[in-house]
Structure 1
Amino acid sequence: MFALQSFVVIYALTFLGQNVLGSEIINGQIAPDNEMLYMASVLDCNGYHICGGFLVSENLVMTAAHCDLNLRYVVLGNHHLRSANKLVIQIADKYKHPYYQDVGSGYDIMLLKLSRPVQTCNTIQFIRLPFREMTLNENEKCQVAGWGKINTYGNVVDNLRVVDVSVIGPQVCRERWGGLPPNVICAGGYNTNKGFCQGDSGGPLVCKGMAVGIVSFNNLLPGTELGNCNYPDVPNVYTDISKYVNWFRRILQGGKS
Structure 2
Amino acid sequence: MHGLHKRLLFHVLTCLVQNALGGKIIDGDKAPENSMLYMVSLQNIRGHVCGGFLISEYFVVSAAHCDHVNPTRVVLGTHNLKAENTMRYIEKKCKPPSYENVGTGNDIMLLKLSSAVQLNERVQLIQLPKTEISMKDGEKCSVAGWGMTETGGAIVDDLRVVDVSVINLEDCKKTWQNLPANVLCAGGYDTKKGFCQGDSGGPLVCNRMAVGIVSFNRNYNCTYPNVPNVYTDISKYLPWINKILEEKNC
In the aligned structure 2, how far is the partner of 1:4 from the partner of 1:40?
37
Counterpart of 2:32 in structure 1 is 32
In structure 1, the residue matched to 2:137 is 138
Aligned to 2:73: 73
| Residues 1:236 and 2:229 are matched in the alignment | yes
In 2, Cα distance between equivalents of 1:50 and 1:5: 29
Letter in 1 for 2:71: L
Which SS does the other structure have where 2:55 is aligned?
Answer: strand
Give unmatched runs, 5+ long, in structure 1.
Answer: 221-225
Residues 39-93 of structure 1 show CA distances to partners (whole Å, capped at 9, x for unaligned) of: 000001x15111000000001000000000221100000000011x101111111
Identity over aligned pairs, percent: 53
Cα distance per residue 1:154-201 (max 9 Å; x no partner)? 121100000000000011100000121000000000010000011320
CA distance in 2, matches of 1:61, 1:11: 27
User: C-alpha distance in 2, partners of 1:177/1:23?
Assistant: 22
| Deviation at residue 152 of structure 1 after TM alignment | 1.6
Tell me which residue corresponds to 2:155: 156
Q: How many angstroms apart in 2 are the aligned matches of 1:4 and 1:62?
A: 32
How far apart, CA to CA, are the structure 1 residues paired with 2:185 and 2:119?
31
Distance of 2:196 and 2:146 partners within structure 1: 11
How far apart, in 2, do the equivalents of 1:217 and 1:235 lie? 9
Partner SS for 2:240: helix
Secondary structure class of the residue paired with 2:188: coil
Q: Report the Cα offset of residue 255 of structure 1.
A: 6.7
Offset, 1:6: 4.6
Q: How high is the TM-score relative to the length of structure 1? A: 0.91
Give the AA of the match of 2:28: G
Distance 1:206 1:4, change over 3 A: farther
Structure 2: stretches of 5+ with no match in the other structure: none
What letter matches 2:12 in structure 1? Answer: I
Shift, 1:4, TM fit: 7.2
Alignment of 1:143-222 (within 5 A): 143-220=142-219
Shift of 1:231: 2.8
Q: Secondary structure at the match of 2:163?
A: strand
Q: 1:185 to 1:15 in 2, by over 3 A?
A: closer
Cα 1:256–1:122, aligned 2, differ >3 Å: closer, same or farther? closer
After the TM superposition, which residues 88-127 of structure 1 pair with which residues of structure 2 at under 5 Å, given as runs? 88-127=87-126
5 and 196 in structure 1: CA distance in 2 versus 1, 3 angstrom threshold: farther
Is the Cα–Cα contact under 8 Å of residues 22 and 67 in structure 1 kept in the other structure?
no
In the aligned structure 1, how far is the partner of 2:15 from the partner of 2:193? 26
Matches within 5 A, 1:235-254: 235-254=228-247
Q: Aligned residues, how many?
A: 247
After superposition, the Cα gap between the structure-2 partners of 1:173 and 1:15, relative to the gap in structure 1 and judged at 3 Å, is closer
Between the aligned partners of 1:255 and 1:76, the Cα distance in structure 2 is 20
- Relative to the length of structure 2, the TM-score reads 0.93
